[in-house]
Every structure is written in structure tokens, then in C-alpha cells.
């Protein structure tokens, strides 16, 4: 069984009968992200793609702004560490000791849960300093949007076994699915996708669409914006703050995709009539 799932005991109730059996559950474990050896954050995640997750997380937190800022990302090699597989250490290019100390001093220690991301640590107003609105003028068809969740679900291998993972899928303008990440957290799945592309020096993703399996929050729109992705689609609802951020910064925000039906909450001009 892969690291993304665990075998667990279960009692199945069927009518008045009970049966003891085994089942597959989505794995959730803490990942400690260190900067130059110093603890920075703990992310509750599904193991796998840890380096990409760390890179995407640091981009969303604006610790880095491009692949040029990354030095190395490696799992802990200290044999005395408890669960070194759950620790990654990140070094930054030109990250002096003084600069790292200033970064640490200006940040509260945080454990991110799988469900809430960074819980609105940044505000809409605070984004104006380091990101510009997205302005791609290309369009996609309504049919291409309607097909996104179907294509994504077909690639959710662990979800099929556990029913317990969210997914994020990166698509080209023509609707071709090029990458998928699964995790117990929607935010983590997006960070894994974005981090993977960041490590390939492929940002901004201005010719791409992102589709997520759950609802869209402020943090998901923020991550989409930082990656330069102009269209974010979801099978469920957006929050009011997610809509405000999308409207303000040029992200086409789509929700409630059900068959050939969906709602466009921001910048509908990118969906061809």
C-alpha cells in the first residue's frame, strides 16, 4: 500500500448485520518545513511530493517569489531525528543568517491544518505590494469547463480507494490535463501542483487552468494568483472573500460545476459564449 493510504480496521454495518473487515484510509501526517535548519511551519498533509508541497507553500507565503530564490529542498538526513521522512529543510539563495532571523522574527509560528490553509493570514490589500492583476485575454469554451471535473476525477487514484482525498488538476487552454495532485487538504494539493511547476521554473502559468475538487476559499484564489493562473474552477462553492479577491485581481472564478451547468463569479469574459 502506498504512502498516501493506510490499511485500517473497520466494522461494516449492513442493516442489522456487522462484519469486521479492513479498509483503506487517506494518510495524514505532519510535515515540518525548516528554513536553513530552523523550524518554520508544520503542515498537516498526505505524504508524497513533499518537496513540491514545501516549494508551493513558501511561494504562497511569499518567502520566495520565483524559482531563482530556491537553493535546495531536501528531506532530513539526521539519523537522530524522529521521523526524518516528515521533515524537509529548505535553503534559500543568498539567504544570510541575518535575513533568515528577520524572517523568523516577523512570523508567528503556525501549524496549518489540512482543511483551512493559512486561514486568511494575508489580506486583499496586502497583496497589492507584490502581485499585479492577471490580464490574459484568451478564452475557453463552456464545454471545456464542464469537462474539467470529469477528467480530474478519472485521475484520482487514491480517492477511488479511500474516498478521503481532495485533488487539484492543472490543465492547458485546450482542456488537456497535464498534472494532478491529491491530498487530504485542498490547499496542499494546489501547493503540490504549483510547487512542482515552480521547481521546473515554469511560472507564471498564464496559459493554464486549475480545477479543484472542493470549495474555493480566499487562500486557493491567492495561490492561483501567485502562480499566474487566470482561471480557477471548482465543483463546489466559493467564499465571499474568494470572490472579492478574484474580482479584484483578474482571476476567472467558477463554481458548482454540475454536468453542463456552472456559475461564474468573476471575470466571465474568459468563458466563450
Spot the catalytic one: 76, 116, 119, 211: 116
Among candidate residues 220, 216, 179, 212, the one with its CA nearest the CA of residue 196: 179
User: Between vectors from CA 259 to CA 114 and to CA 245, what angle results, nearest 5°?
Assistant: 45
Instruction: Work out the number of other CB atoms within 10 angstroms of the CB of residue 184.
Output: 22
In terms of Cβ atoms closer than 10 Å to its own Cβ (0-12, 13-18, 19+), residue 220 is buried
What is the C-alpha separation between 229 and 222, in angstroms, rounded? 10
Pinpoint the alpha helices (H) of the chain: 50-60, 97-105, 142-154, 157-162, 186-199, 218-227, 240-249
What is the C-alpha separation between 247 and 239, in angstroms, rounded? 12
Strands 17-26 and 70-75, sheet pairing: unpaired
211 is catalytic: no
The angle, 0 to 180 degrees and rounded to 10, between the axes of the packed helices 186-199 and 218-227 is 10
Query: Which residue(s) pair with 210 in the sheet?
Result: 170, 232
- Specify the DSSP element, H or E, that contains 88: strand 87-92
What is the C-alpha separation between 197 and 158, in angstroms, rounded? 22
Active site residues: 116
Amino acid at each position: 500500500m502506498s504512502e498516501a493510504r493506510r490499511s485500517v480496521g473497520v466494522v461494516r454495518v449492513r442493516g442489522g448485520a456487522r462484519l469486521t473487515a479492513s479498509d483503506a484510509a487517506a494518510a495524514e501526517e505532519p510535515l515540518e518545513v525548516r528554513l536553513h535548519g530552523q523550524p518554520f511551519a508544520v503542515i498537516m498533509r498526505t505524504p508524497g511530493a513533499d518537496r513540491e508541497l514545501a516549494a508551493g507553500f513558501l511561494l504562497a507565503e511569499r518567502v520566495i517569489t520565483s524559482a531563482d530564490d530556491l537553493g535546495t529542498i531536501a528531506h532530513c538526513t539526521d539519523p537522530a531525528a524522529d521521523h526524518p521522512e516528515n521533515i524537509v529543510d529548505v535553503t534559500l539563495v543568498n539567504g544570510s543568517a541575518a535575513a533568515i532571523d528577520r524572517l523568523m522574527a516577523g512570523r508567528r509560528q503556525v501549524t496549518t491544518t489540512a482543511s483551512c490553509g493559512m486561514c486568511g493570514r494575508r489580506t486583499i490589500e496586502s497583496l497589492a505590494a507584490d502581485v499585479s492583476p492577471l490580464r490574459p485575454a484568451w478564452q475557453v469554451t463552456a464545454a471545456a469547463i464542464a469537462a474539467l471535473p470529469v477528467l480530474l476525477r478519472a485521475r484520482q487514484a487514491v480517492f477511488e480507494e479511500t474516498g478521503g482525498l481532495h485533488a487539484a488538476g492543472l490543465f492547458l487552454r485546450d482542456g488537456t490535463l497535464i498534472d494532478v495532485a491529491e491530498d487530504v487538504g485542498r490547499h496542499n494539493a494546489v501547493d503540490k501542483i504549483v510547487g512542482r511547476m515552480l521547481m521546473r521554473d515554469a511560472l507564471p502559468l498564464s496559459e493554464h487552468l486549475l480545477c479543484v475538487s472542493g470549495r474555493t476559499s480566499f487562500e486557493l484564489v491567492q495561490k492561483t494568483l501567485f502562480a499566474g493562473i487566470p482561471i480557477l474552477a471548482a465543483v463546489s462553492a466559493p467564499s465571499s472573500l474568494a470572490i472579492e479577491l478574484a474580482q479584484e485581481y483578474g482571476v476567472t472564478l467558477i463554481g458548482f460545476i454540475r454536468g453542463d451547468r456552472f456559475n461564474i463569479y468573476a471575470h466571465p469574459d474568459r468563458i466563450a459564449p
